[in-house]
Amino acid sequence: EAGVVQSPRYKIIEKKQPVAFWCNPISGHNTLYWYLQNLGQGPELLIRYENEEAVDDSQLPKDRFSAERLKGVDSTLKIQPAELGDSAVYLCASSPDSTYEQYFGPGTRLTVT
Amino acid sequence: GQQLNQSPQSMFIQEGEDVSMNCTSSSIFNTWLWYKQDPGEGPVLLIALYKAGELTSNGRLTAQFGITRKDSFLNISASIPSDVGIYFCAVRNDYKLSFGAGTTVTVRA
């Protein structure tokens, strides 16, 4: 069974530029999560989707961050415009539903210069 | 988010050693999890604990869910070089995971 797929794996951009990350969850997993992981810390939840609905986006900085999961399968997380402090690893995770444990993708490492 | 105190922050292992790390919380949780993260990869679930006092093994890894439901420990027996990485404890409250800051395990030269 294929795991959670994320792309790109690495991204370097200049501040004020837009950037987008893509995630394809494990087949059949209805719940999808985006996490932010700063250096030396554990992941922190940004947003949770149940199918195509964002059911918890309370930790998503909505002034510059947006996410979508239009068909309830793959998802895109966007930052516009990026700031220096956005440099981090962005992790996607999925689970069959929210009562099951989560499986993480390899992450996208973003560097904003 | 919920603060988990994970210790030690880092440790050095020598092949064959047994190592131990723990995680404490000021609040009670009903699910404790241990993840490992290798460089450039996402966290991988090692062990999940659902019952206070539960002792669960996964190969050379053993984890226990504290009886007070406020702590957990992870033991690695007979460590091997591929055990290096960052080990995170986490607690789950409904769907929300809260992670500790991690224990970095490296090989002693």
Higher per-residue confidence, B58 vs A2: B58
**Dihedral sign (CA A66, B3, A108, A94):** negative
Taking a C-beta distance cutoff of 8 angstroms, is the pair B40, B89 a contact?
Answer: no
pLDDT for position B96: 87
Share of chain B above pLDDT 70, in %: 97
> Does any CB of chain B come closer than 8 Å to the CB of residue A111?
no
pLDDT digits (tens, 9 = 90+) for A38-92: 999 999 999 999 999 999 999 999 999 999 998 989 999 999 999 999 999 999 9
> Does any CB of chain A come closer than 8 Å to the CB of residue B99?
yes
CB count within 10 Å of CB B29 equals: 22
pLDDT digits (tens, 9 = 90+) for A88-111: 999 999 999 888 889 999 999 999
Q: Distance (Å) from the C-alpha of residue A99 to the closest C-alpha of chain B?
A: 6
pLDDT for position A70: 86
Beta-ladder partners of A54? A49
Higher per-residue confidence, B2 vs B76: B76
pLDDT digits (tens, 9 = 90+) for B68-99: 999 999 999 999 999 999 999 999 988 889 99
Closest chain A residue to the Cα of B43, Cα to Cα: A104
pLDDT digits (tens, 9 = 90+) for B39-51: 999 999 999 999 9
Percent of chain B that is helix, strand, coil (3-state, to 5): 5, 55, 40
> Does any CB of chain A come closer than 8 Å to the CB of residue B88?
yes
* Tokens encoding B54: 């539960």
pLDDT for position A49: 96
Q: Distance (Å) from the C-alpha of residue A25 to the closest C-alpha of chain B?
A: 13
CB contact under 8 A, B95 and A31: yes
Q: Which candidate from B44, B95, B100 shows the least CB-CB separation from A42?
A: B100
Closest chain B residue to the Cα of A94, Cα to Cα: B95
